[in-house]
Amino acid sequence: MEVIIKPSAESAVKLTAELIGDAVRMRPESVLGLATGRTMESLYAELSRMCREEKLDFSLTRTFNLDEYIGLSGDNINSYRYYMNYHLFNNINIDKRNTHLPDGMADDVIAEAARYEDEIEFAGGIDIQLLGIGSDGHIGFNEPLSSLSSRTRAKSLTPETYEQNSPLFDNPDEMPKRAFTMGVGTILDARRIIMLVTGAGKADILSKAVEGPLTAMITGSAIQLHPNAVVVCDEAAATKLVGRKYYDFVFQNEPEWEPYR
Ligand code: F6R
């Protein structure tokens, strides 16, 4: 795993967008695993700008989102399908038929989860999986105690996640208590992982996930198992990282990062 600490949230977002943009330029039919949440809003704004102003071409790109609320249809303003259309898909030249999220309205949740896994496999697997991290350490909606080898399934959310996300609903009581989420095992199958973490509120959980023990209590710690994972964060989120001197040294010296310094 590598950790790149940028001076501001804006520069962390910009680097993450450049990494994704370069991957799409190199392989236009890339399969991107996408996340939602507040952290990603400025990233999607930047990718939208790159498409508009720099002609970054998403016409062949395919996407799979990490999660979707159970009980919300795609036209519900709080669904992740709505979020993705609003923040990204409507603003870039992607073919919406190539964009995938679990169907929050599926009658049979077990069949829907299996269908989603099959679709990812049929697409050849995920090239780059974008992740945020929740205040309880979740990735996707893999809440504490999720198996580190779990696959896509329906999951009950924690009270902490409820507290984190319900203010985004006009009526917080309408936030579903369950969601579909790719499993930790599904996420770890991606060929590359990029985790974007910004803001002082994430400093504690970020240090636990990156430098603490591997534990199902903090599913974000599972990225320690991945052979090609990079965490991009801002100064505010990095304040509790004890190894930051080394992380900066790697970023300054590894040839891979030269184009991004
Ligand atoms: C949502 C997702 C979540 C978020 C996490 C952080 O698709 O994958 O794991 O990344 O809850 O959310 P924000 O960015 O709102 O703090």
Task: Name the residue range of residue 75's domain.
Answer: 2-154+180-260
In a domain? residue 223 = yes
- Report pLDDT for 258: 97
Measure 152 CA to ligand 1 centroid, in angstroms. 16
- Whole-number average pLDDT of the chain: 97
Please state the rounded mean pLDDT for residues 107-132: 98
What is the edge-to-edge ordering of all strands in the sheet holding 153-156? Answer: 67-69, 178-181, 153-156
Marked catalytic residue, from 87, 100, 138, 226: 138
Please state the rounded mean pLDDT for residues 212-241: 98
DSSP letter for 160, please: H
Q: Could you tell me the pLDDT band of residue 239, with boundaries at 50, 70 and 90?
A: very high
Q: Could you tell me the pLDDT band of residue 49, with boundaries at 50, 70 and 90?
A: very high
Helix (H, G, I), strand (E, B) or coil at 77: coil
| Torsion sign over Cα 154, 159, 161, 167 | positive
In a domain? residue 165 = no
What is the edge-to-edge ordering of all strands in the sheet holding 229-234? Answer: 2-6, 229-234, 192-197, 128-131, 31-34, 62-65, 99-100
Ligand 1 pocket check for 39: Cβ under 6 Å: yes
In a domain? residue 173 = no
Provide the domain count of the chain: 1
In a domain? residue 167 = no
Query: What is the token pair recorded at 75?
Result: 């036209």
pLDDT per position as a tens digit, 53-107:
999 999 999 999 999 999 999 999 999 999 999 999 999 999 999 999 999 999 9
Q: Taking a C-beta distance cutoff of 8 angstroms, is the pair 124, 186 a contact?
A: no
% of the chain beyond a pLDDT of 90: 100
Environment class of 159 (CB within 10 Å of its CB; exposed 0-12, middle 13-18, buried 19+): exposed
- Report pLDDT for 223: 98
Which pTM value belongs to this model? 0.97
In a domain? residue 120 = yes
Q: Which of 30, 235, 237, 228 is nearest to 132 (CA)?
A: 237
- Report pLDDT for 51: 98
Residue whose pair of structure tokens reads 């790159």 in the numeric block: 50
% of the chain beyond a pLDDT of 70: 100
- Report pLDDT for 157: 96
- Known catalytic residue: 67? yes
Ligand 1 pocket check for 33: Cβ under 6 Å: no
Which CATH number do you get for residue 44? 3.40.50.1360
Marked catalytic residue, from 136, 189, 226, 234: 136
CA dihedral 3, 233, 60, 98 (to 10 degrees): 110
In a domain? residue 143 = yes
**Residue 198 CA neighbour count, 13 Å, CB half:** 19
In a domain? residue 169 = no
In a domain? residue 74 = yes
Nearest CA to ligand 1 atom 12: 37
